């Protein structure tokens, strides 16, 4: 099917895009890589009257390194997250997750901002940004900017707190220290597909093998990416060995309440969450030790 007719507008600046969003409200949609929006329009599940193309706003395509975080523009493509040396060195977890999105064609078009605003709870980047405690920066009318924690940005399936006249301009991603352990693992139905369940783990280990800080987020088990904070608390202050990893993986099934869908029962998702948590923690602790 072809999309319903729409007007195409190309914004030259963030301010122009925001002005147009404010003027046309929900009849307008931002077009970034189009890898989620266009399929929905072709199926007539989305029928925006106007598309505001932001691909000409080159300031949104930058990656900048600050002392403690990377500032990554909304238009940075998935393949660049995967390949960029600064991202690979300072936040390899993000690069690894970006490399698992779709196929090369999708990764060359799809953008960080698009993935975050589309807010699919099975998508790789929202899960990883939640584990990393990244902050989303949005700009509204009169140049007003605000930072929103990733954990507070996603409201439910395909829904965020982004206002009608707000544009996501960049994401501030905390850098990982070289000695931090990390892992992102997922199970998909088809190669290059969205995760059925995904798990992102970050472990800061003390010299004596005790976990100083743990972060664990799961995708695909709730309407938004889910940080499993009670499991983080369980791991912090303990040695991360086979026993504590098995205990943590055992606990995770009771801490989530996934919904069954046409392909997977809730019990199957729980089992996947347990298996991925076990493997992700083991991989993270191995990386922290080497
Ligand atoms: C075959 C196929 C396989 C795929 N596999 C995966 C996968 O494995 N993992 C995965 O996560 N995704 C996957 N996707 C979906 C897609 O890759 C991502 O969701 C996509 O990259 C979104 O980015 P985009 O730039 O294409 O967004 P678009 O489609 O352009 O936009 C998505 C939504 O976000 C809004 N938006 C975009 N940018 C902004 C902004 N800066 N500010 C405010 N709103 C904005 C748009 O208005 C729209 O509502 C797949 C898609 C296809 C077609």
Cα(55) to centroid(ligand 1), Å = 14
CA distances to 18, 61, 72, 167, 267 from 91, rounded to whole Å, are 30, 18, 11, 24, 33
Ligand 1 geometric centre to CA of 193 (Å): 13
Q: Which pLDDT score, from 0 to 100, does residue 290 have?
A: 64
Dist. CA 56–CA 50, nearest whole Å: 17
Model pTM score: 0.97
Say how far apart CA 238 and CA 83 lie, in whole Å. Answer: 35
Tell me, in angstroms, the distance from the centre of ligand 1 to residue 121's CA: 12
More confident site: 208 or 224: 224
Pick the atom of ligand 1 nearest to 39's CA.
Answer: 53
% residues pLDDT > 70 (the chain):
100
- CA–CA distance from 253 to each of 137, 160, 195, 249 (Å)? 33, 26, 18, 7
- Contact residues of ligand 1, CB 6 A cut-off: 29-37, 39, 74, 101-102, 106, 109-111, 113-115, 117-118, 123-124, 162, 167-168, 192-194
User: In 3-state terms, what secondary structure has residue 41?
Assistant: helix
Q: What is the mean pLDDT of the chain?
A: 96
What is the pLDDT, as a whole number, of residue 192?
85
């Amino acid at each position: 099917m072809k999309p319903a007719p729409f007007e195409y507008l190309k914004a030259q600046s963030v301010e122009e895009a925001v002005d147009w969003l404010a003027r046309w409200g929900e009849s307008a949609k931002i077009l970034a890589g189009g890898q989620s929006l266009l399929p929905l329009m072709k199926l007539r599940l989305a029928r925006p009257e106007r598309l505001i193309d932001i691909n000409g706003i080159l300031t949104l395509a930058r990656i900048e390194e600050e002392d403690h975080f990377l500032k990554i523009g909304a238009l940075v493509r998935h393949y660049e997250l995967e390949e960029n040396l600064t991202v690979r060195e300072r936040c390899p977890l993000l690069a690894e997750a970006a490399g698992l999105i779709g196929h090369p064609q999708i990764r060359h078009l799809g953008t960080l901002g698009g993935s975050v605003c589309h807010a699919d709870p099975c998508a790789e980047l929202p899960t990883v940004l939640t584990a990393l405690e990244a902050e989303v920066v949005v700009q509204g009318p009169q140049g007003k900017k605000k930072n929103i924690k990733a954990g507070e940005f996603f409201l439910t399936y395909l829904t965020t707190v982004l206002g009608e006249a707000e544009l996501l301009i960049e994401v501030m991603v905390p850098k990982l220290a070289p000695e931090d352990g990390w892992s992102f693992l997922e199970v998909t139905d088809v190669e290059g597909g969205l995760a059925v369940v995904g798990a992102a783990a970050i472990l800061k280990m003390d010299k004596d093998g005790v976990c100083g800080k743990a972060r664990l987020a799961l995708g695909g088990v709730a309407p938004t990416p889910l940080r499993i904070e009670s499991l983080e608390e369980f791991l912090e202050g303990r040695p991360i060995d086979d026993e504590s990893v098995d205990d943590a993986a055992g606990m995770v099934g009771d801490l989530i309440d996934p919904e069954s869908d046409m392909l997977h029962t809730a019990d199957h998702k729980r089992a996947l969450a347990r298996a991925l948590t076990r493997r992700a923690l083991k991989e993270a602790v191995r990386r922290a030790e080497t």
